[in-house]
Chains A and B, each alone.
Chain A
Amino acid sequence: MAEKVKEQKRGNFLKGIIIAVVALAAAVFIPQFLNGITGGGYYLHLLIIIAIFSILSMSYNVITGVAGQSNLAHIAFMGTGAYISTILVMYAGVNYWITFFLAGIVAMLLGLLIGIPTLKMRGTYFAIGTLAISQLMSLIWLNGMPGGSDGIPDVPHIPLWGIDFTQKINYAYLMIFFAAVTFFVVLRVVKSRTGRAFVSIREGEDLALTTGINTTQYKLTAFMISAFFGGIAGALYAPYMHYICPQDFSMANFMTVLTMLAVGGFGTIWGPILGTTILTILPEVLLPLKDYIFIVYGAILIPVIIYAPRGIMGAVEDMRARRQARRAKRAEV
């Protein structure tokens, strides 16, 4: 028995290495390939957007998918990160990489402001509290920030060892790197004891509480991790786009992130990336519908939640579990 477990572990390790090598090769060659083909610049842009929104949806997954708390302020964290970073860089002359971390930390503090009173209680308060905070932030960007509704143009490029960031391909590598970092951090958290506590809160808060899990504290932890990466996604978004405005972080964009996660699968590891990829490419495929893409999103979101509440990856997982159960049953007979 023990040997079998060992073997399986070795098998998993090998599988992990193979996946890592393939992913690394893909990460290196796909941007090169897209850069080479004609009109590849636009595809490269899509790739970068997928990477940034993957960071966003992966971190959103931690609080909403894994810990099961309905957060509506995630795009506000991204906006906070983007505004903090941009304003400090442009108006105070702070080094970009300092503002990069500050963006995450300020987003986290903003999360704490609403998380502390609402996460003590159940679902509803948290949802409405985060909605209010996201509206409050967009009001602040609209009326209290330079540029107002016109936004801030000419956000400077990222300074990094003199790399020429006017080349899109360099941005692509950078964003893929940060998406990978986020992926591994989220993976480590979810697979750890803390991650199991998050899942137990989602599956039954009362039970989690009675088994000695400090649910409030764990929910706050999940929220802080989530908000931190949300802020960082914003800090990466601003210099790439060169321009930020309150519209970029509106409720509509939040709905996009939510749909990405719902399609990919709440609480799954690969779901956010899959969902982000599908929903970034979808508007390009449905070009005639691009102006009304939110109708499409709404029409996707509702049936997905009704018929496959855990999205594509959740459905795949369920199918695999069923197959395994069937095989085990057959082996018994």
Chain B
Amino acid sequence: MDFFIQIFVNGIVQGSTIVILATGLSMMYSIVRLINFAYGEFYMIGAYVAWMFINQFVANYWLGVLVSMIAGIVLGWVVETYAFRPVYGRPRMNMFIISLGLVMLMQEGGTFIWTGYPRALKTPYLDPRQIGPIVISDQRIIVVVAALVVLGLLMWILYYTRVGKGMRATTSNRRAANLVGINVPRTTNLAFIIGTVIACLCGSLIGPLLMLFPTMGAGMNIRSLVVIIIGGLGSLQGAVIAGYLLGLAESFFAGYLWMEWTSVVGYIGLILTLYLKPQGLLGRE
């Protein structure tokens, strides 16, 4: 039973990671209908920036997280303005190819700058702690809490602020939003930046729990893409539910069945969803 609870908790931690990424990705998708294959790369860069700052300059962990988020702002602004903005309104395939080009640039650029050698991100919160039957480190608790905080903030921005209202308007109809006086390019830009900041935050929080290497983003990116499809494209709530479900399913699969086949869970889930309920758990499309 202890093993079961431990695995459940691990699943929640894994699910929290996926949820953080999936909400950012889902937001990018809904605002410009962009499937961003480069999203995992933002996460990788976030982790490496935090690593550079914390390990190289021997700085405070939370300062590193902050720097990583600032890097996210810059990254999001540059990528949206110079790579994606020129192709809005063109066939959607253009955007998809650009995002693949970004994957190449960022992954290989990462290898160029940081080499392929795995790095460990330092954090003071790695000591395991015994709570009842489970063993968990503070860093994992931070990840779980961060997922809830990110979700709460995002909901607050989307539903209780003027900017968020603009974003929701842009999501539902770009042209009409433009007509009623919403600055659509700036709103898009902002939504994109929020997405990249979330990715970088996630990278710097998860970083200490894994090894950093330049292709670390690929696997997480596919997981979050799978999750936003299972949850229903464009549905934030669906993505959250599907994210926790996938995290738990992967954790149980790895714990009780075959470790090396863990990522199969997501693919099988995706294929089943596409056959049985293609609009996803909470999708409306």
Contact B108 A132 (CB under 8 A): no
Asked if A306 contacts B108 (CB within 8 A), the reply is: no
Task: Using CB atoms, name the residue of chain B closest to A300.
Answer: B101
- Assuming A143-B260, A301-B100, is B270 touching A129 (CB within 8 A)? yes
Q: Are A128 and B229 in contact (CB under 8 A)?
A: yes
Residue B74 at the chain A interface, CB threshold 8 Å: no
Chain A, range 114-130, C-beta contacts under 8 Å to B: 114, 117-118, 120-121, 123-125, 127-129
Beyond A129-B274, A131-B37, A255-B100, whether A295 also contacts B229 by CB under 8 A is: no
Chain B's nearest CB lies how many Å from the CB of A309? 6
Once the chains bind, are B108 and A295 in contact (CB under 8 Å)? Answer: yes
Q: Which residue of B lies closest to A306 (CB)?
A: B86
Query: Majority SS of interface residues in chain A?
Result: helix
Please determine whether B102 and A302 come into contact, CB atoms closer than 8 angstroms: yes
Within the complex, the shortest CB–CB distance from B260 to chain A, in Å, comes to: 5
Render B251-267 as a binary contact track against A, CB cut-off 8 A, 1 for contact. Answer: 00000000011011011
In-complex Cβ contact of A127 among B94, B96, B263 (8 A) = B96
Residue contact A125 to B101, C-beta cutoff 8 Å: no
Which of A64, A120, A136, A259 contacts B264, CB < 8 Å? Answer: A136
Q: Which residue of B lies closest to A301 (CB)?
A: B101
For residue A299, CB closer than 8 A to chain B, the reply is yes
- Kindly report which residue of chain B lies nearest to residue A118, judged by CB atoms: B274
A114 CA / B278 CA spacing, docked (Å)? 12
Q: Are A301 and B104 in contact (CB under 8 A)?
A: yes
| Residue A40 at the chain B interface, CB threshold 8 Å | no
Q: How far is the CA of A299 from the CA of B112 in the complex (A)?
A: 14
In the complex the two chains form, what is the Cα distance from A131 to B98 in whole Å?
Answer: 16
- Evaluate contact between B267 and A132: CB separation under 8 angstroms: yes
Across the interface, A135 reaches (CB within 8 A) one of B100, B108, B222, B229, namely: B222
B149 at the interface (CB under 8 A from A): no
Is A227 in the interface zone, CB < 8 Å from B? no
Cβ–Cβ < 8 Å partners of B91 in chain A: 68, 202
The reply to whether B112 and A292 form a contact with Cβ atoms under 8 Å apart is yes
Q: Within 8 Å CB of A301, what residues of B?
A: 97-98, 100-101, 104
Q: Which residue of A lies closest to B234 (CB)?
A: A124
Given A64-B93, A292-B112, answer yes or no on A299-B105 (Cβ-Cβ < 8 Å): yes
**What residues on B are CB-neighbors of A259 within 8 Å?**
101
A128 to B271, CA, bound (A): 10
Q: A251-B218, A295-B112 are in contact. Are A128 and B94 (CB under 8 A)?
A: no
B35 A128 Cβ-Cβ under 8 A: yes
A70 to B98, CA, bound (A): 12
> Are B226 and A117 within 8 A (Cβ)?
no
Whether the Cβ atoms of B109 and A295 lie closer than 8 Å is yes
With contact pairs A68-B91, A117-B278, A136-B264 given, residues A125 and B229 touching in the complex (Cβ less than 8 Å): yes
List, in ascending order, chain A residues with CB within 8 A of B278's CB: 117, 120-121, 125
Q: Counting CB contacts under 8 A, is A270 at the interface?
A: no
What is the bound-complex CA distance between A301 and B256, given in angstroms? 44
- CB of A294 within 8 A of CB of B107, answer yes
Do B35 and A135 touch (CB < 8 A)? no
Q: Does chain A have a CB within 8 A of B233?
A: yes
**Does A139 reach chain B (CB closer than 8 Å)?**
yes
B87 at the binding interface (Cβ < 8 Å): yes
A24 within 8 A of B: no
A298 interface residue per 8 A CB criterion: yes
Q: Select one of A128, A139, A258 contacting B97, CB under 8 A.
A: A258
B71 contacts partner chain A, Cβ-Cβ < 8 Å: no
- Residues in A neighbouring B83, C-beta threshold 8 A: 302, 306
What bracket does the count of chain A residues touching chain B fall in?
A: 35 or more
Q: Report yes or no: B271 in contact with A113, Cβ–Cβ below 8 A.
A: yes
CB–CB A131/B104 < 8 A: no
Which of these, B86, B225, B233, B271, contacts A131 with CB under 8 Å? B225
Q: Is the CB of B263 within 8 A of A139?
A: yes
Residue A243 CB within 8 A of the other chain: no
**Is the C-beta of A305 less than 8 angstroms from some C-beta in chain B?**
yes
Contact present for B271 and A129 (CB under 8 Å): yes
Q: Tell me, in angstroms, the Cα distance from A117 to B276 when the chains sit together.
A: 9
A178 located at the interface, meaning its Cβ lies under 8 Å from any Cβ of chain B in the complex: no
Query: Chain A residues near B29 (CB, 8 Å)?
Result: 124
Indicate if the CB atoms of A302 and B98 lie closer than 8 Å: yes
Q: By the criterion CB–CB under 8 Å, are A70 and B264 in contact?
A: no
Residue in A72, A132, A262, A305 whose CB lies within 8 Å of B271: A132
- Chain A residues with CB below 8 A from B226, complex form: 128, 132
Residues of B within 8 A of A315 (CB): none
Given contacts A64-B93, A128-B229, contact A306 B263 (CB under 8 A): no
- Counting CB contacts under 8 A, is B92 at the interface? yes
- Complex formed: what's the CA distance from A262 to B108 in Å? 19
Partner of A294, one of B108, B218, B261, B274: B108
**A133 contacts chain B at the CB level, 8 A cutoff:** yes
A278 vs B135: C-alpha distance when bound (angstroms):
56
**Contact status of A295 and B105, CB under 8 A, knowing A117-B274, A118-B274, A120-B278:** yes
**Can you name 23 A-B pairs with beta carbons within 8 Å?**
A124-B35, A124-B92, A125-B233, A125-B274, A128-B35, A129-B274, A132-B226, A132-B266, A133-B271, A136-B264, A251-B103, A255-B103, A294-B104, A294-B107, A295-B108, A298-B102, A298-B105, A299-B105, A301-B104, A305-B94, A306-B83, A306-B87, A309-B87
- List 13 extra interface pairs beyond A128-B229, A295-B105, A297-B101, CB under 8 A: A70-B93, A117-B278, A123-B96, A129-B270, A132-B266, A133-B267, A258-B97, A259-B101, A266-B93, A292-B108, A301-B100, A305-B98, A306-B83
